[in-house]
Amino acid sequence: MSQLNTATIHGLTTTEAADRLRQFGPNAIPEPKPQLWRNLLKKFWGPVPWMLEVTILIEVILTRYVEGLIIAALLVFNALLSTWQEKHAADALALLRQDLKLKVRILRDGAWQVLTAELIVPGDALHIRMGDILPADVRVLEGNLQVDQAVLTGESLPVEVGVGQMAFAGTLVQRGEATVEVVATGLHTRFGRVAQLVQEAKHPSQMEQVIFGVVRALIGLDGVLAAVVLGYALFVQHFSALETLSFVLILLVASVPIALPATFTLATALGARELARAGVLVTQLSAIEEAAGMDVLCSDKTGTITQNRLSLVGLYPQAPTDEDTLLKVAAMASDPATQDPLDLAILEAAHQRHLEPEWAQRRSFTPFDPATKRSEATFESAETTWRVVKGAPQAVAALCAAPPSDLERQVETLAAQGLRLLAVAQGSESALTLSGLLAFQDPPRPDSAALIAQLKHLGVRVIMVTGDGEATARAVARQVGIGEQVCQPAHVEAAAADPSACDVFAEVLPEHKFALVQALQRAGHVTGMTGDGVNDAPALRQAQVGIAVANATDVAKAAASLVLTQPGLGNIVAAIQASRRIYQRMRTYTLNKIIKTIQIAGFLSLGVILHGLFVVTPLQVILLLFANDFVTMSVSTDNVRPSPQPDRWQVRSLVSTALALALPLLLATLGIFQWGYGVLGLSRGQLQTLAFITLVFTAQWMIYLVREHGHLWASPPSRWMLLASTAAIGMTILLAATGTLMAALPLPWVLADLLLVMGVLLLLDTIKVFLLRRPLRTT
């Protein structure tokens, strides 16, 4: 500290801070930047690239240099496109994470201001509160902290840090407040020398696991077909071994969703950006998928359902205490530094009545603790020491020697009016006397009732969770339309088993929230949880969709998967709708892929068995992949409608629907090929061209068929989808009509094929609407 030339505790000037920022660098742990060239090279290593590379080698051995060169060019293009998409998604998420950086209260130029933790420099004065994550190594100047250092030392018990003592970056403030001076930042902190402040590990989400499970099953099916084709071509038709191997490899490649990783990443990244515009910041991409299936939301009351603008609306003193004395005692049990809304409301009312507490005589203060449900202070004068306590009426009454007999009735009467009550007591260390009750009002937000009705319409059951008493909780829940069934925390298992058992949980402690989330999950519910404090962190982490509300502590934000930037439930509704739109896009892609795989693999295999020829060339299959798979990446931008009910993946339902659509499509494809083979008398090359354009046309139409439960014209697709499909169909017609990279077909026949495919797909659309009269719940 002597080297920093900091002689006072009044903080730094902007100029001094800028100089030290240049000297010590940002207060951040540098993250290794991904190397684009390394990511690009990885695109050429793996099962799919290997099969394509072997195919290129076979084409060269067979002296088909043009085909080999084109396949190689398309492989390179795939690698470049995937790398660019991943970088684009990573950049978008990095931009969003800028809004999730720790914010700290810094004394600069003699004034307190809120800045990001990256701008902290040694010598800065900070104010630290309960629930904060320490952003740097600091020395306490004023106040006391209780700090959880488990992240550094593994100690399970918190440690007390007083004036002159050190606390370290990355540790959690469990209790207390203090003004501190920064000693070290970034890599110079103790934590910086050990690990990063935040480490993110991506684990496969439910959506990814389901999709890849479907893909593995399809590859297994194609493996069987490939073996049959290989044996039939070699031992029955006596085809060339190299040509047969090339065809079999391409058959397998056609079943692998090459664009899946890029499509999935792009869809979730775009969804995160969409949510950011709606006031929801995403810390875990998996939450976007989980929110689509969320069917229960445990919502905090204060600041989410209500306005979190508490005002003191009533004083109810107990004789011989009068109103002024009651208010003054309550102010003595409060502290402006806590920024607690109740404390601020009490102090504001006391100030308006010119009732100033004797701060000089205060010897100790304990902020409100959810476990004890009270705050208290000790005062000393020349003659005596006395204690003042304020908190929940039941908790304070339990400390009093002789609480009034009608206290419980008075509390119930006032709470039934939707008022929040605090009791105040004063006396000696061993004998407290109840001074009276204070009534506060935190009215529901004007939009809460409408938003809760909207959540219910979306199939999400809302449970209000609050520390208030039963009467207050019931009054608020009734006003916003949640219900009137109020339960105690002991009934969490009953609430999980019976959706109608409890609408509200009152007198809840943080551990009860965690137990409630676990009970709901055991009952099979995808559960969301809102919270704002450090004690909410376990429940936020446990919930599939942990939601840190506006003005939440750093710990709550770190534990949550979604962070709201505006108060209320409106952002949650937006998050559910956005996640369901993302689900619909991925469902469209997956269902489309299953149908195409069954169609293509079946058609290519039956072509060899029925007609003794390869119905498409390896080059045409690669062109087909680019015309289909990479065009369907535009599905990530589709203007889909969110599902009316929670969405979950159900592979059996998904596959049965795909089979019901794929088998008629396969028969139609074989029929069109037979029309060209038996009626038009096309040559082998022209038949392959006819098969190629039929597969392209059916795939393009199928995207629009499966994106809607209703008819394919029920809602407009995105312009990117239309542009991509138009380009794919246009290029296919051009290649076939001009004989580029394939045998030429007369343009009238190409257009006739397009019209035939349109007719087939319109018929399939009617079948689909019949099958999906009930919304497809891929649960």
How far is Cα 401 from Cα 407, in angstroms, rounded to an integer? Answer: 14
* Tokens found for residue 444: 């529901």
Q: How confident is the model at residue 630 (pLDDT cuts 50, 70, 90)?
A: low
Q: How many helices (H) and strands (E) does the chain have?
A: 25, 21
Contact 536, 516 (CB under 8 A): no
Radius of gyration of the chain, Cα coordinates, nearest whole angstrom: 33
Contact 104, 120 (CB under 8 A): yes
* pLDDT greater at residue 752 or residue 645: 752
Whether the pLDDT of residue 573 is over 80: the answer is yes
Q: How confident is the model at residue 554 (pLDDT cuts 50, 70, 90)?
A: low
How far is Cα 537 from Cα 606, in angstroms, rounded to an integer? Answer: 57
Among residues 363, 449, 437, 367, which one has the least CA distance to residue 400? Answer: 437
| From 120-129, 259-268, 286-295, 700-709, the region with the lowest mean pLDDT | 259-268
| From 115-119, 204-208, 491-495, the region with the lowest mean pLDDT | 204-208
Contact 564, 548 (CB under 8 A): yes
* pLDDT greater at residue 185 or residue 247: 185
| From 84-98, 349-363, 430-444, 660-674, the region with the lowest mean pLDDT | 84-98
pLDDT 10s digits, 24-74: 888 776 655 666 777 777 777 765 576 667 767 766 776 767 767 876 776
How far is Cα 679 from Cα 358, in angstroms, rounded to an integer? Answer: 103
Q: Which residue has the tokens 């403030």?
A: 173
pLDDT 10s digits, 472-505: 888 889 889 998 888 888 777 666 667 667 889 8
Q: Region 374-380: what's the mean pLDDT?
A: 89
Q: How confident is the model at residue 708 (pLDDT cuts 50, 70, 90)?
A: confident
Phi-psi region of 339 (alpha: psi -120 to 50; beta: other; left: phi over 0): left
Q: What is the mean pLDDT of the chain?
A: 79
Q: Region 111-133: what's the mean pLDDT?
A: 84
How far is Cα 167 from Cα 161, in angstroms, rounded to an integer? Answer: 7
**pLDDT of 3:** 41
How far is Cα 132 from Cα 303, in angstroms, rounded to an integer? Answer: 19
Q: What is the dihedral of CA 265, 267, 269, 273, to 10 degrees?
A: 180
Q: Region 366-386: what's the mean pLDDT?
A: 82
Give every CB contact of residue 725 below 8 A, 6+ residues apart in sequence.
Answer: 631, 634, 700, 703, 704
Q: Region 557-564: what's the mean pLDDT?
A: 82
How far is Cα 37 from Cα 330, in angstroms, rounded to an integer? Answer: 65
How far is Cα 619 from Cα 622, in angstroms, rounded to an integer? Answer: 5
Whether the pLDDT of residue 151 is over 60: the answer is no
* pLDDT greater at residue 227 or residue 315: 315
**pLDDT of 51:** 62
Q: Could you tell me the maximum CA-CA distance found in the chain, to the nearest angstrom?
A: 115
Q: Region 403-425: what's the mean pLDDT?
A: 88
- Across the strands, what pairs with 436? 317, 424
| From 59-68, 195-204, 381-390, 568-577, the region with the lowest mean pLDDT | 195-204
**From residue 150, how far is each of 102, 185, 553 by CA, in Å?**
20, 20, 19
* pLDDT greater at residue 205 or residue 479: 479
| From 188-192, 615-619, 642-646, the region with the lowest mean pLDDT | 188-192
Which helix (H) or strand (E) segment is 424 a member of? strand 420-427
Domains and CATH numbers, the chain: 2-25+101-188 (2.70.150.10), 206-271+583-771 (1.20.1110.10), 280-306+444-565 (3.40.50.1000), 313-441 (3.40.1110.10)
Q: Mapping DSSP to helix (H, G, I), strand (E, B) and coil, where does residue 174 land?
A: strand
Q: Region 124-147: what's the mean pLDDT?
A: 86
Whether the pLDDT of residue 4 is over 80: the answer is no
- What percentage of the chain exceeds 70 in pLDDT? 81
- Residues with catalytic roles: 300
List b or e across 700-714, with b for residues whose CB sees 16 or more CB atoms inside 10 angstroms. bbbbbbbbbbeebee
Q: How confident is the model at residue 596 (pLDDT cuts 50, 70, 90)?
A: confident
End-to-end CA distance of the chain: 60
Q: What is the dihedral of CA 284, 289, 290, 291, to 10 degrees?
A: 100
Phi-psi region of 131 (alpha: psi -120 to 50; beta: other; left: phi over 0): left
**pLDDT of 311:** 83
pTM of the model: 0.67
Whether the pLDDT of residue 262 is over 60: the answer is no
**pLDDT of 187:** 76
H helical segments located in 612-746: 618-628, 651-674, 684-706, 719-738
Which helix (H) or strand (E) segment is 530 a member of? strand 527-531
Whether the pLDDT of residue 539 is over 50: the answer is yes
| From 31-35, 183-187, 293-297, the region with the lowest mean pLDDT | 31-35
**pLDDT of 46:** 64
**pLDDT of 734:** 95
How is 247-283 classified by DSSP, letter by letter? HHHHHHHTTS-TTHHHHHHHHHHHHHHHHHHTTEEES
**pLDDT of 694:** 94
Residue 258: how many other CB atoms lie within 10 Å: 21
Q: Mapping DSSP to helix (H, G, I), strand (E, B) and coil, where does residue 197 land?
A: coil
How far is Cα 718 from Cα 735, in angstroms, rounded to an integer? Answer: 26
- What percentage of the chain exceeds 90 in pLDDT? 17
